Chains A and B, each alone.
Chain A
Amino acid sequence: MDGVVQLQRQLLDYTALLFQEGFLNDQFTQLQQLQDETNPDFVVEVVSLFFEDSERLLNELANTLDQQSIDFRKVDSHVHQLKGSSSSIGAQRVQNVCIAFRNFCDAQNTEGCLKCLQQVKNEYSLVKNKLETLFKLEQQILAAGGSIPM
């Protein structure tokens, strides 16, 4: 059981760090609290949707910003969606970049938008990585016969 306790400690510490570093906010805790026996994979399901949607939106943003004549309304619409989904799962840093991104859109500032695109890609990549690590830890605990600490 020692191994399980260690893994549980690791998970709690890792999660706390993600909150401290601003990758996740309280909304993520809300998701965890909605998970129960009737909805045992809720967090993974919602986060997986977030990954799918984000990847699609980031591709569409890259295409839209690559055009000769940029359709800023389209850019704004994609960023709006990305802001919505990142805020829904508590991906704070992604959400913050989206706010700045929308301001550059409003101002039709191409350079600003391109910078934000790069930033949001980075932040997305980071939070994806960290969430996947978190889920792996959870899987290890469950495989070792333990339960996920809250």
Chain B
Amino acid sequence: MELPSKINNNEKSLQQGISPSGNGGLISNSKLTALVVDSDRICQILEKAILESQGVETQVVGSGRDALDLLASGATFNLIIIAMVLPIMNGVETTRQIRAMGIRSKMLGVTACSYEREKQAFLDAGVDEFIEKPLTPQKLASIMREMRNA
């Protein structure tokens, strides 16, 4: 299966800060990409606006299923922002399945609720970080700084 390993090599390169095209360029000079997985229209618009205002090329999907299909088709992202509450397949389960595909992108779990048990479930499923909605430009900027310096 050529496709999944292509995704993994890309992700590996990105993590090492090397451009996947192999020209040796540092990630800090290339555009970061993000996927927003959220069924809430307001969050979709807000998160996309915050990401784009910081120069991140952003795609938005409204369900876990759509996210998995997009990733399976070969699309790669530096950052995946995923809501806990999603139709049919929730964010925790979607995260598990994304990680099971071997995808190493930075994943940020977001939720409007603040219960400790939910936070732990999200972290256990594989998100790198968890924040309470709403996403703010400051929070995103600090995440991006980390990613560019990684």
Contact = CB atoms under 8 A, between A and B. Distances in A.
The answer to whether A binds B is yes
Interface of A: 27, 30-31, 33-34, 39, 42, 45-46, 49-50, 53, 77, 80-81, 83-85, 87-89, 102
A45 B134 contact: no
Contacts of B41: 49, 53
Contacts of A53: 40-42
A-B interface, 6 closest residue pairs, ranked by CB to CB distance from nearest: A84-B112, A88-B134, A34-B49, A83-B112, A85-B42, A88-B42
A118 to B, nearest CB: 22
A80 B50 contact: no
A46 B45 contact: yes
Given A80-B85, A87-B112, A87-B134, A42 B40 contact: no
B49 A88 contact: no
Nearest to A36: B53
Given A81-B85, A81-B112, 5 more contacts: A85-B43, A87-B112, A87-B132, A88-B42, A89-B42
Contacts of A39: 49
B113 interface: yes
Q: Interface size bucket, B side?
A: 10 to 19
B46 interface: yes
A126 to B, nearest CB: 19
Nearest to B85: A80
Interface string B120-150: 0000000000001110110000000000000
Interface in B52-79: 53
B45 A49 contact: yes
30 contacts: A27-B136, A30-B50, A30-B134, A30-B136, A31-B46, A34-B46, A34-B49, A42-B49, A45-B45, A46-B45, A46-B46, A49-B42, A50-B42, A53-B40, A77-B85, A80-B113, A81-B85, A81-B112, A84-B40, A84-B42, A84-B112, A84-B133, A84-B134, A85-B40, A85-B42, A87-B112, A88-B40, A88-B42, A88-B43, A102-B113
Contacts of A85: 40, 42-43
B111 to A, nearest CB: 8
A83 B83 CA distance: 14
B91 to A, nearest CB: 13
B130 to A, nearest CB: 15
Given A49-B41, A53-B41, A34 B133 contact: no
Contacts of B136: 27, 30
